Amino acid sequence: MKIDFKFVSDLPVWLKTSIVIAIVLAILVVFFMFARYTDIDQGLCRPCHPTIHQMWESSNAHPAGKVSCHECHANHLDAFPEDDTNIFAHYRDKILPGHFYSSSKVINDNCIRCHADIPELKEVKNTRIVKISHAKHFKAEKVKIDDCLVCHQDLAHDRYSVATNRPRMQGCFLGECHVADKKEDRCELCHFVKLVDKEKVLEKIDKK
């Protein structure tokens, strides 16, 4: 069956123009969606970073399928460009991010972008073993940490045999942060669940 397109010539000019514009826009949208998908797909990262990619896939904090390489390592631009920025380059990079970064600044900015409420929390909810006050650690009065990666370096790419999304305890004792607390055995500051009863352990040692 042949379709007769002669009816198109009888359409008003405004309708013809609207149809052409709609078709062009649809083609552009499909093109940029496909280009964006291929540009941010984590498959591009796997060939060069197979080990790190595997660590990310097994991460409990940022599991595959929910958080991609692009979410953490791309420079996410604002909706509107700054005054001294090329407007075409701005929206080109926003739609098709051309560069991926491993710098702490970019990653830290992306941490705050997704977890804007975390720095203000005095205590993280739903914790079973360790309690950490982000309000006292992140840009606080005594502690001047302004980088999430200081504590969460291996959050997505855990290099330890036993994976955990919590900060490593040895990092808490670097510098002068909790050296005094370690000497005074003030473990309850962070460990509200006693994993080991110190008094019972000493009693067993004395009996032996």
Q: Which tens digits make up the pLDDT trace of 175-190?
A: 677 777 777 777 777 7
- The span from the CA of 200 to the CA of 164, in Å, is 28
pTM for the model stands at: 0.65
Q: For the residues 69-78, what does the mean pLDDT come to?
A: 85
What b/e sequence results for 91-130 when a residue is b if at least 16 CB atoms lie within 10 Å of its CB, and e otherwise? eebbeebeebeeeeebbbebbeeeeeeebeeeeeeeeeee
Predicted local confidence at residue 27, as pLDDT: 94
Q: For the residues 195-203, what does the mean pLDDT come to?
A: 63
